[in-house]
């Protein structure tokens, strides 16, 4: 049966290639260049755009929305151009379309690939219902710098977590097969290294070794390629002196030759033209040449290909067979999407956007993305029977727009349910609610609203504070050097804390903020990121105990900006520091000898540890890990080790724990990280219940690129930890035999 299925697939592939080749043979050079050109809509169907489509000079359009307009655009391409080639319609469907999910970094905090896949499927259906067939997502850049505005779009700092969640998004967007009407082509970005931009600034220089590139940055891209992603986007950044859109090593050697990628590569917005700005090409003609030589199939927005491919061919700088191959790559995706057979969209074929099922997916995503960072004296969950007066304070308590977060061009603000709305609906007339913004926005730097906020707090038994940063403070080109709470938020928090009330702080933000001061002003701290359309009901359920927090940090929270980059899987160094070895500045004796502190690796004013580690998140219950067992003390290369551990719910509530498996390769051909995430599972436990959790670890899961850039698993000793975050202490060891 399997052989028969494979034969059918091969026949379909052969027929597809025949159709592609037949079309390429009939195309003029102008039409080929058209397929390699993506233009921006935004101005609607202008006369110029209509003419360009009729002449076959457009292969794709982005940022044009509206079903009627897009169907008309496809009609012109199909019926009024010479060859009738449909268009790819691109849009940034980043974390939802009409119904907004949490920002991707928030979704990553769920550590739930199935839920993330459902969210991407929902977004694909909503987008496809309006004529969009291509999204520029998921973004799978690894970053360790929360100053970077685009950390909001990432899936965090870890290679394994990003690989798993990124492939889940690809599978959600693309469905079971691309040709089904509610699938859209995914585009993984930004290839590669963009998340390492210097100083956390967008578009900045990236200096990264090939070892770091292959071992940390590239694996999520490889995972998505293996999952069948249709397209890939180059990064804006200059990687080691060679901008990504002109980087033959990335696009030809690694992507095509090593990984066998068969989709197509699109540049980022204007990135081909910007090769000139980088100083990598002397003019637009040579920018086109460099991008073509590197392997960029389609140019986004800028017109270097349109203006100069013909000249490059005449001058013999490129060969037309290269152009033909790039056009084949693009056409293949169009055929796989079924656009030649079904170029038009009928709204009646789709469920209504924002329907109850979609809203429930958005709510569950918001609920599982929230991370409980602090809960002193078990202040959460709140018990309605103990509250008569409740203060709800802060600029993020009732702002539907801001809770949607960055990249929400198409989100419906009027569909959003805010925390204030949800709490009012939940408590009804059983509690008196006293509302005050305190600050007009998160950036406000005056005390005009302080007294009203303080008065609301004085009247109340419990104070709920909703702080954070507005959506505009994160996302592309919205980087920050100071990532404390902006404005006078800490000042307001401090004055309310001095009242001695029970205080719960909910933060909505597009990045991990430095909360060293902030956390001291609240008894409980819930991190909600930008939670999307259903953020309010999700937060209300958590605050009042209808659900227990599940989320875990997908990125390390620094104490202060000066610790950046700080991440869990650093190297050991030759002089590692233990917490007990640290001496802080104020404890150093006057005129102490230069070497009296031990000469190890830490900051005198911040110590060694972050504020919150990777993988961290509290629950309304407590969990106990014990009895770790390995299937063997030694295994051979090519074998699988089974790791078992018992997990008990030792608290008073049923809840879900995200169990995490970490490994350290003690000695390597290159130095290895002190810990690496290799697996995780969601485990639901009733009160008092104990479950045995099993992980399978194959020796190939321990492979890395060595000094020669060979992918190898080396014999030797390995340590294993299993627990609830990257500081897990339950440990065992095993050996891979020589």
Does residue 47 have an active-site annotation?
no
> Helix crossing, 159-174 with 219-226: angle to 10°?
30
Q: Cis omega before residue 565 (within 30°)?
A: yes
CA 674/CA 678 separation, integer angstroms = 13
DSSP letters for 243-301: EGGG-HIIIIIIIIIIT---SEEEPPTTTTTHHHHHTSSSSHHHHHHHHHHHT--BEES
CA 176/CA 482 separation, integer angstroms = 44
CA 185 vs CA 14, 50, 181: distances in Å: 21, 24, 11
CA 88/CA 184 separation, integer angstroms = 10
**Placement of tokens 């018992």 in the chain:** 646
CA 326/CA 101 separation, integer angstroms = 35
CA 684/CA 573 separation, integer angstroms = 38
Catalytic residue among 141, 238, 268, 297: 268
Order of strands across the sheet with 623-630? 623-630, 640-649, 690-698
**Placement of tokens 């060859």 in the chain:** 83
**Placement of tokens 């205080």 in the chain:** 503
What separation, in Å, do the N-terminal and C-terminal C-alpha atoms of the chain show? 40
CA 157/CA 146 separation, integer angstroms = 10
Q: Would strands 623-630 and 640-649 be described as parallel, antiparallel, or unpaired?
A: antiparallel
CA 394/CA 440 separation, integer angstroms = 8
CA 201/CA 187 separation, integer angstroms = 23
Q: Cis omega before residue 684 (within 30°)?
A: no
Order of strands across the sheet with 231-234? 187-191, 231-234, 264-266
Residues taking part in catalysis: 268
């Amino acid at each position: 049966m399997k052989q028969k299925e494979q034969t059918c697939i091969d026949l379909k592939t052969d027929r597809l290639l025949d159709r592609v080749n037949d079309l390429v043979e009939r195309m003029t050079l102008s039409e080929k260049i058209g397929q390699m050109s993506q233009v921006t809509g935004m101005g609607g169907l202008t006369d110029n755009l209509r003419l360009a489509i009729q002449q076959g000079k457009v292969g794709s359009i982005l940022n044009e929305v509206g079903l009627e307009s897009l169907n008309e655009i496809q009609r012109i391409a199909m019926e009024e151009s010479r060859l009738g080639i449909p268009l790819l319609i691109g849009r940034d469907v980043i974390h939802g379309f009409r119904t907004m999910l949490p920002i991707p970094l928030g979704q990553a905090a769920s550590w739930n690939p199935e839920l993330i896949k459902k969210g991407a499927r929902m977004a694909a259906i909503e987008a496809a219902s309006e004529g969009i067939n291509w999204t520029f997502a998921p973004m799978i850049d690894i970053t360790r710098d929360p100053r970077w505005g685009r950390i909001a779009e990432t899936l965090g700092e870890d290679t394994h977590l990003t690989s798993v969640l990124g492939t889940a998004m690809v599978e959600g967007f693309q469905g079971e097969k691309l040709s089904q009407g509610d699938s859209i082509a995914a585009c993984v970005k930004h290839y590669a290294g963009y998340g390492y931009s210097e100083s956390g600034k967008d578009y900045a220089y990236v200096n990264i070794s090939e070892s770091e590139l292959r071992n940390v940055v590239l694996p999520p891209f490889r995972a998505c390629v293996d999952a069948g992603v249709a397209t890939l986007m180059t990064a804006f950044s200059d990687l080691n002196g060679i901008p990504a859109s002109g980087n033959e090593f990335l696009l030809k050697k690694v992507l095509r030759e090593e990984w066998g990628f068969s989709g197509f590569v699109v540049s980022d917005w204007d990135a081909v033209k910007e090769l000139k700005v980088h100083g990598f090409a002397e003019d637009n003609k040579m920018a086109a040449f460099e991008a073509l030589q590197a392997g960029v199939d389609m140019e986004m927005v800028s017109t270097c290909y349109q203006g100069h491919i013909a000249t490059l061919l005449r001058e013999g700088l490129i060969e037309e067979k290269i152009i033909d191959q790039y056009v084949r790559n693009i056409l293949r995706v169009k055929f796989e999407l079924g656009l030649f057979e079904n170029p038009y969209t009928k709204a009646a074929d789709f469920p209504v956007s924002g329907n109850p099922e979609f809203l429930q997916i958005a709510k569950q995503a918001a609920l599982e993305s929230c991370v409980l960072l602090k809960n002193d004296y078990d202040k959460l969950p709140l018990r309605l029977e103990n509250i008569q007066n409740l203060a709800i304070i802060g600029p993020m308590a009732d702002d539907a727009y801001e809770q949607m977060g960055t990249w929400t061009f198409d989100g419906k603000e009027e569909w959003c349910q805010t925390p204030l709305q949800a709490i009012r609906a939940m408590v009804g007339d059983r509690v008196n609610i006293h509302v005050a913004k305190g600050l007009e926005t998160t950036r406000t730097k005056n005390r005009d609203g302080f007294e009203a906020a303080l008065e609301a707090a004085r009247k109340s038994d419990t104070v709920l504070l909703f702080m954070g940063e507005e959506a505009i403070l994160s996302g592309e080109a919205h980087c920050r050097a100071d990532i404390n709470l902006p404005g006078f938020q800490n000042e307001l928090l401090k004055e309310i804390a001095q009242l001695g009330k029970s205080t719960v702080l909910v933060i909505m933000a597009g990045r991990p903020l430095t909360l060293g001061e902030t956390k001291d002003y609240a008894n409980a701290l819930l991190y909600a990121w930008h939670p999307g359309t259903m953020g309010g009901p999700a937060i209300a359920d958590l605050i009042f105990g209808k659900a227990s927090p599940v989320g875990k940090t997908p990125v390390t929270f620094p104490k202060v900006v000066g610790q950046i980059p700080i991440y869990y899987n650093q190297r050991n160094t030759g002089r590692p520091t233990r917490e007990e070895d640290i001496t802080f500045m104020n404890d150093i004796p006057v005129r102490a000898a230069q070497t009296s502190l031990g000469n190890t690796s830490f900051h005198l004013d911040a110590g060694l540890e972050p504020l919150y580690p990777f993988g961290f998140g509290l629950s309304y219950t407590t969990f106990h890990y014990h009895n770790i067992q390995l299937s063997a003390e030694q295994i051979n290369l090519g074998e699988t080790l089974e790791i078992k551990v018992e997990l008990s719910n030792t608290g008073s509530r049923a809840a879900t724990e995200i169990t995490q498996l970490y490994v350290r390769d003690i000695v390597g051909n290159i130095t290895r990280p002190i810990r690496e995430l290799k697996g995780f599972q969601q485990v639901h436990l009733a009160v008092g219940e104990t479950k045995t959790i099993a992980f399978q670890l194959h020796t190939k899961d321990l492979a890395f690129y060595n000094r020669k850039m060979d992918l190898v698993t080396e014999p030797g000793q390995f340590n294993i930890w299993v627990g609830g975050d990257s500081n897990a202490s339950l440990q065992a060891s095993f050996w891979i035999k020589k």
